[in-house]
Structure 1
């Protein structure tokens, strides 16, 4: 038998193999509509075959991000989506045998990469009120901790971290020589950011992505923002060309047109507020924590709703986790999309 890394061999992974193209996709927190058509077509018209034949030039995008964040280009590492940023975090800074402290339930890839790179995942679980005990988080951070993960906001549940909490966690991690990764994949939907801690502490790495609000999940591009020392080490493990030409070009184009970002934010907000109003008016219990998603406690069983909505070509998210077994998660989008969802949801979930 050929050698297989035992951490990989024992790893359990799942994947969604069905095509989602013919569905209204409200299950993975993507923008189901995408970028404005006129804007996207203008971008495509500027693509030239000779540029596609070249390896991508990443410096112009890094420079734009540096100006946006008011930092140096040496503080930024482009990644193949946030997923790649998480991989670099574990590959470079994860000490095998030590702990990774995060909340649970949360983005599954933190647990996956913990196992893949031989670390011990120690999640602090939310209670039935979707609250996490800060003392539990603090007590989990000790000399055996390698990485602490803070998601701001956390998908699918949780309340926003406060400045006091984040500062305390970072300082406890710093005393124990642990890296703190602040995942802000949903930054554009949230009213808070902890970007300022990158300058204040030498153990903080901030992750962002173009996949959610910026609507190019298929392009796979994100970035790490941190101090130059940590970025230098992360880049050593990065692919030579971690992001492709199309991803770099469209990310640059979006940053050059901030009105597009404002338009995307306004449309999502309008749709979300419409859906929240409908849920309020019809007496639904729901949970919203400043991402582009809602948890809804349904009348019918979530799996029944999943099946019936899928039959109507609408995808939603359901969970096996006991805390979430009575809830569905729905991606929020513009008002037209939310009206379509609400019409079908109301029919399926009536008492």
Structure 2
């Protein structure tokens, strides 16, 4: 893939200027009642898939202890963090690209594949926040609906490949459905896709499952890129930290589109992340509580005759088709932020899992 740096920089700058909505503003715009409830301290947030159990106490302590280092470029933490992430994924540091959140990496990968324009394939609905950027940079797209069982349709995505296809995106588990594709399904798909097409697998929620990450395949399948985030399990949605995993050549090419790789991550975030990975007690607590709340939520929906999709994440996708009340008005009246409607056919929507107390308030509100 050739890079005309002057033309690319000009296009990228114009693209950034044209896309006036930040990711948070994008989410807010698509969240009913956000403008009325965003500044209310009593509002229950069940819309952004945030971690309702907070941040590891050990991570918070590490962040406080290292606030005084905020005046310096601290390369020590960057080296330790990358080393820890490489060890966690049983890879080398050359396989990693760290950034302030995985959303930035989705954008960076999109810009990389769009250097010679071309075509991309996405499932719908899914977490396709990068879609407007790809289109602005001149790429065409094919949107593949989910199957009737709300699964990403890998077969139709494969059949949508064209000569100029540059990118195929898979979110696994998928957001907003929570459905999980097996490693076997994805590997069969990768083998059937031409090697010149980048396959981007977003694993923001993989840690809520018992399934192993695809990260161990990046040296075998050089066109595979996996993104991970600290926003969900570790509760770093506001602290911002994510990372991409790929073949060293892929990571090297992505870094060429950055003036200083990882420079946007704060010292305090890095210090907190290192401590968070080591706090196994907190991780177990989050996973255990998430499962209990999910079981409760699925049971309550079942009692009300509301159709749901089994979730492998920290949210639940369900249909309002049989719900006769004004769902979003009930949420607003109870000062609860919920997700938007994703599919008008069946009126599917999503609710993030809060604490048990928050979910009890939620079900009382919609009853």
**Distance of aligned partners of 1:164 and 1:44 in 2 relative to their CA distance in 1, 3 Å threshold:** closer
Instruction: Compute the displacement of 1:53 (Å).
Output: 0.6
Q: CA deviation at 1:40?
A: 5.4
* Higher RCO (Cα < 8 Å, 6 or more apart): 2
- Gap change, CA 1:12 and 1:131, over 3 Å in 2: farther
SS of residue paired to 1:202:
coil
- For residues 174 and 39 of structure 2, the distance between their equivalents in structure 1, rounded to whole angstroms, comes to 25
| 1:129 matched residue in structure 2 | 149
Query: Residue 209 in 1 paired to residue 229 in 2?
Result: yes
TM-score under structure 1 length normalisation: 0.87
Q: Which runs of 5+ in 2 are unaligned?
A: 1-9, 29-33
Aligned to 1:180: 199
Shift of 1:231: 0.9
Q: Is residue 314–residue 352 contact of structure 2 (8 Å, CA) maintained in 1?
A: yes
- Do the aligned partners of residues 313 and 215 (structure 1) sit closer, same or farther apart at CA in structure 2, a change above 3 Å counting? same
In structure 1, what is the Cα distance between the partners aligned to 2:114 and 2:16? 16
| 1:259 counterpart (254, 277, 281) | 281
Aligned length: 339
Q: Is the 8 A contact 1:149 1:180 kept in 2?
A: yes
How far residue 128 of structure 1 moved from its aligned partner, in angstroms, is 4.2
Unaligned runs of 5+ in 1: 347-351
Q: What are the residue-to-residue correspondences of 1:65-144 with 2, within 5 Å?
A: 65-144=85-164
CA contact (8 A) 1:95 1:119 kept: no
With structure 2 as the length reference, what TM-score do the two structures score? 0.84
CA distance in 1, matches of 2:60, 2:178: 38
Q: Shift of the alpha carbon at 1:63?
A: 0.4
Matches within 5 A, 1:1-351: 13=21, 15=26, 16=28, 18=35, 19=38, 22=41, 23-36=43-56, 38-39=57-58, 41-49=60-68, 51-57=69-75, 58-157=78-177, 159-175=179-195, 177-192=196-211, 193-240=213-260, 241-298=263-320, 299-300=322-323, 304-319=326-341, 321-323=343-345, 326-346=347-367
In structure 2, distance between residues paired with 1:7 and 1:41 = 36
Aligned pair in 2 of structure 1 residues 20, 146: CA closer, same or farther (>3 Å)?
Answer: farther
